[in-house]
Structure 1
Amino acid sequence: MSSKKASPLLPSHNTKSGPPSSRGSPGSSPGGYSPFGEPLKRTTSGGKKEDGNQDYFGNGHSEKGEFSLEHAKQNVEITPNLPEQKPNKSTLSPTIIIPIWIALSSAVILYNKYLYSNLEYPYPIFITSYHLGCAALGTRVLRATTNLMDGLDKIEMTRELYTKSILPIGVLFSGSLILSNTAYLTLSVSFIQMLKAFTPVAILLISAIFKLQVLTSRLVLIVVLISAGCALAAYGELHFQMFGFLCQVSAVAFESSRLVMIQILLQGLKMDPLCSLHYYAPVCASINACFLPFTEGLAPFREFMRIGPVIMFSNAAVAFGLNVAAVFLIGAAGGLVLTLAGVFKDILLISSSVLFFGSPITGIQIFGYSLALGGMVAYKTASK
């Protein structure tokens, strides 16, 4: 769980997790297990822009479905937001699905924070394992009872592909979820959402390291703008906690690396959020569970009944519902509209954090976060 990569377990601008993130337990960050992104458009020698084939999770693919590092370079993502997609049979009206997605994405993060702080259930590793276990079971139930998982029929999952691609990406996903949820123990929801704005910069820098992206002057300007905004947001935090800050920064690094690895390792595969969750959830749940005996022990199980099954089950249901909503969000609107929806969601989360949890924010934080959001929107606008 989280809080798309936003995860709580869900990616902030959730959410290319991923899936899973959601973004997430299927998002990157608390609340969201499905972090989503849109590819950078590369200009060819003739001056014509190439988009490349891109699926919901940013998995570039050639006509033959073969891995191509050159093709991966055409699909580098800079923001973990929902990309443009052609409408499919499951598409609902944007006026219906976008508010539902915003509500569920915000609810996962706020619900997790409420569980950790107000109900004094400080067990983020157990919560992520629990959410992922429920997600693994939920996707299999949907597979047997609905057509939402029909995308699995088009995926040829081999043992080699699972070992060399799904497993390492799952490790990064698991690390992102654990670290992001741990940050919520000491940091406010508002401050974490501000730090998540640095994710596009991390993706861009990691892509440059792997030689998937060339840093142009325009992209460098975006990096500087977003970085300065996040630095100001951190500088203005009144209740700064180094441990939580390092956890969230590490979570951003893990989630950004995961999104880049998807570009490199999953060439030829097209997975929507639920199909991605179907493969990643069991892996991540198992990895997370291995840490439980050495970190939180049996305490989460003993406290489970104190919290009550209604709260625990509804918490997992909201997180899983977010991933279902992400499927219907595909094709609902263009990339820029969905980016703005993500920005609105973050502003709503920050405001809700102030109202419900009394999290103070300063003027310098508002200014810095505005700069970061401006950098992301500027990129989306310029890339059209």
Structure 2
Amino acid sequence: MAVEMEDRDAEQGLMNDDEEKPQQQPPQPASRGLHPLFYIASWIFFSNSTILFNKWLIDNRGFKYPATLTCWHLVFATIATQILARTTSLLDGRKNVKMTGRTYLRAIVPIGLLYSASLVCSNMVYLYLSVAFIQMLKSAAPVAVLLTGWAWGVESPSLKRFLNVLVIVAGVALASVGEINFSMIGFLYQLGGIVFEAMRLVMIQVLLSGDGQKMDPLVSLYYYAPVCALMNIFIAGAAEAPRFDPADLAKAGYLVLLLNAMVAFMLNVASVFLIGKTSSLVMTLTGILKNILLVIVSVIIWNTSITALQFLGYGVALAGLVYYSLGWEQIVNITTGFWTWLRAVWESPGTESRLPPAVRRGLFTGLAVIIIVVLVSGFMYGSGYGTTVTKLSS
């Protein structure tokens, strides 16, 4: 890695020398990198596919062993990261991590245990709650991270952020009250998953960042996966081994389980590229969009019923989450920038764009009409206006 950096510095020096002699400088080919939208779409696809795939395996294929499924994901991730570390450069970031026996026992093991607990709880909840409602509850994750940070002394309490937290909590509470098929066990599992994940993130900030070390998601998985897999073997053995039926493996399908683990692993790879090719702001906005899309898609697939109160609660929580993640100034800047871009596209002459103005305006208008019709008809379908239960149906 150091040799590569020195080569790049040398090449940069040669390019600077060549700038003094432009007549001797050969023409440089245009760089052809992938558009950031590709990385955004990949992360959304693999993230939502992992969640929907897990739910489908548990509900539709009868593989009701969430701890075993999590264990299989981590065993696959352990093998895959070891292979990638020896055959690719995707895990070169681990060379910047000073991993000692003390650091491993002090940071990796406890953080890995929390990560394992978070994954188990996140998969267990699929036995009791719908994907749409799970995503609504996940809106409270920043609240748990903030409160844990306050308790740990990492964050300083402020009245403004506390009021923002109350808005998110109120929205999640409304969504929970409006849930038709509410399960207290499922709610507690999801709450446990959120709390464990919040503790893991704060511990990473305290222990690893304090040592000047940073890990991308794939490097983190390289270190955490073996610990989590070992932990989950004991959890799955104690909780699910007595009722485990080997016939359920064949029923779920060996190739299907392999594909499921591959999709879950690709999520981590997509996360690395998204972080590396975009910014934290883009990832925050992408995460919010991903959650909204997942709620809509999951409701369409499973015909989940959504009440008006639940829809209102999720809207309140989502608004609080956007404000918490971005802040008012950032929201205004993004809105202004988007409106300026949209207006420029709308009013630009046909000679400067690929489509004539009339066609462009027709597409925008048609898209807006389709979105409104789909939302209104989807939420009113099957129950009629004025009823308390609303359904989105494919």
Deviations 1:187-233 (A, max 9, x none): 00000000011010111111111122122121012101111111011
Q: Does 1:269 align with 2:213?
A: yes
Q: Which AA in structure 1 matches 2:238?
A: F
Q: Distance in 2 between matches of 1:364 and 1:310?
A: 41
Residues 127-166 of structure 1: pairs in structure 2 closer than 5 A = 127-166=69-108
Q: Does 1:292 align with 2:236?
A: yes
Q: Does 1:359 align with 2:309?
A: no
Measured after TM superposition, the shift of residue 305 of structure 1 is 2.0
Q: Distance in 2 between matches of 1:93 and 1:168?
A: 38
Q: Distance in 2 between matches of 1:380 and 1:149?
A: 29
Residues 31-110 of structure 1: pairs in structure 2 closer than 5 A = 92-110=34-52
> What number of residue pairs does the alignment pair up?
296
3-state SS, counterpart of residue 198 of structure 1: helix
Deviations 1:129-171 (A, max 9, x none): 0000000100111111111011111112111100011000111
Q: Distance in 1 between matches of 2:195 and 2:162?
A: 19
Residues 1-384 of structure 1: pairs in structure 2 closer than 5 A = 92-267=34-209, 268-297=212-241, 299=244, 301-382=246-327
Deviations 1:71-128 (A, max 9, x none): xxxxxxxxxxxxxxxxxx9x84211110111011000000000000011110000000
Q: Distance in 2 between matches of 1:380 and 1:254?
A: 20
Normalising by structure 2, we get a TM-score of 0.72
Measured after TM superposition, the shift of residue 301 of structure 1 is 4.1
3-state SS, counterpart of residue 361 of structure 1: strand
Deviations 1:322-341 (A, max 9, x none): 11111110143333332221
Q: Distance in 2 between matches of 1:367 and 1:258?
A: 31
Which structure would you say has the larger Rg?
A: 2
- Percent sequence identity is 45
Unaligned runs of 5+ in 1: 1-88
Q: Which AA in structure 2 matches 1:353?
A: S
Kept in 2, the 8 Å contact 1:123–1:300? The answer is no
Q: Which AA in structure 2 matches 1:343?
A: I
Q: Which runs of 4+ in 1 moved over 6 A?
A: none
Kept in 2, the 8 Å contact 1:126–1:300? The answer is no
3-state SS, counterpart of residue 241 of structure 2: coil
Q: Which AA in structure 2 matches 1:182?
A: M
Q: Quote the residue 2:23 is aligned against.
A: none
Q: Distance in 1 between matches of 2:278 and 2:107?
A: 30
User: Which 10-residue stretch deviates more, 220-229 or 358-367?
Assistant: 358-367
Unaligned runs of 5+ in 2: 1-30, 331-394
Kept in 2, the 8 Å contact 1:232–1:368? The answer is yes
Q: Which AA in structure 2 matches 1:279?
A: Y
Measured after TM superposition, the shift of residue 379 of structure 1 is 2.4
Measured after TM superposition, the shift of residue 362 of structure 1 is 1.4
Kept in 1, the 8 Å contact 2:62–2:252? The answer is no
RMSD: 1.7
Change (3 A) 1:126 1:351: same
User: Which 10-residue stretch deviates more, 325-334 or 188-197?
Assistant: 325-334
Q: Distance in 1 between matches of 2:245 and 2:207?
A: 35
Change (3 A) 1:331 1:146: closer
User: Which 10-residue stretch deviates more, 111-120 or 326-335?
Assistant: 326-335
Q: Distance in 2 between matches of 1:325 and 1:335?
A: 14
Deviations 1:238-264 (A, max 9, x none): 000111111101111111111111111
Kindly indicate which of the two structures has a greater share of residues assigned to helix.
2
Q: Distance in 2 between matches of 1:321 and 1:278?
A: 14
User: Which 10-residue stretch deviates more, 152-161 or 183-192?
Assistant: 152-161
Q: Distance in 2 between matches of 1:146 and 1:330?
A: 18
